[in-house]
Amino acid sequence: MVKNPDEIKIMQEANQIVAEVLVMLQNMVEPGVSTWDLDRAAEDLCRKRKAVPAFKGYRGFPGSLCVSVNEEVVHGIPSRKRKLKKGDIISVDFGTHYKGYYGDSAITIPVDKIDSTKKKLLEVTAESLDQAIEKVVPGNRISDISVAVQKHVETNGFSVVRQFVGHGIGTSLHEGPEIPNFIQNEPSPRLMEGMVLAIEPMVNVGTFKVKVLRDGWTVITADKKPSAHFEHSIAVTADGPLILSSRANFVG
């Protein structure tokens, strides 16, 4: 699962396409926009950049973009009928397949003005990802990432989803090792230079418990309280974490 510098360079290109798509979606999100509109725009820009949407058709998933609104945690299906409303939050998760390698990243976006609870949820979830990324150095363990996320989330009164975890990424969308956002009492792999990890805290306002809807994809919180999701793909390097999906080139 260890990549050489040339492979990491291609993965950075794949992830920069993802980053560009997410920034475009951030600028598109407003009341009245449908999740289908977002999906179409994401796929169009991806293909314009000579990449293929990674999620479309993956295990039968019908969309290019996972769009999860409010109490939806992950894997929401784009729909012409689902139009965003002021006060919503929407997680957009996008992946690319480019030159044989995958990119994967996610952000949760406020729709116009949101209430203070949702605002804090987004801040804490994004911060937990930042704190996890700081642990991505050779010699640390996957469990160091898990501890960083869970500690920050629970200190702020929220809960960490247990049923879904981060993952390695490379020539497959999901590679080992699994990256839980919570502490597990079992041996944890050590990080090695050249590993690439997709770290993705999923954080709920209420219970950590979730359930899957009848569509077989959409995951919602068991108590129907809001959830947020942020994700980056990061390479382990001797110089520290390299955020392959950084959006810095496309904002500000």
pLDDT at position 214: 96
pLDDT at position 186: 85
Long-range contacts of 211-218 (CB under 8 A, 24+ apart): 215/77, 217/61, 217/75, 217/76, 217/77, 218/68, 218/72, 218/75, 218/76, 218/77
The Cα–Cα gap between 122 and 107 comes to: 9
What is the token pair recorded at 146?
Answer: 């898990």
190 three-class SS: strand
The rounded radius of gyration (Å) of the Cα atoms in the chain is 17
Instruction: Provide the residue-wise pLDDT of the chain in tens; the chain has 252 residues.
Output: 899 999 999 999 999 999 999 999 999 999 999 999 999 999 999 999 999 999 999 999 999 999 999 999 999 999 999 999 999 999 999 999 999 999 999 999 999 999 999 999 999 999 999 999 999 999 999 999 999 999 999 999 999 999 999 999 999 999 999 999 999 988 899 999 999 999 999 999 999 999 999 999 999 999 999 999 999 999 999 999 999 999 999 986
pLDDT at position 227: 98
Q: What predicted TM-score, i.e. pTM, was given to this entire model?
A: 0.97
CATH superfamily of 5-243: Creatinase/methionine aminopeptidase superfamily (3.90.230.10)
pLDDT at position 252: 64
What is the token pair recorded at 235?
Answer: 């390479």
Whether the CA torsion 24, 26, 27, 32 is positive or negative: it is: positive
Strands 232-237, 196-199: pairing is: antiparallel
pLDDT at position 185: 84
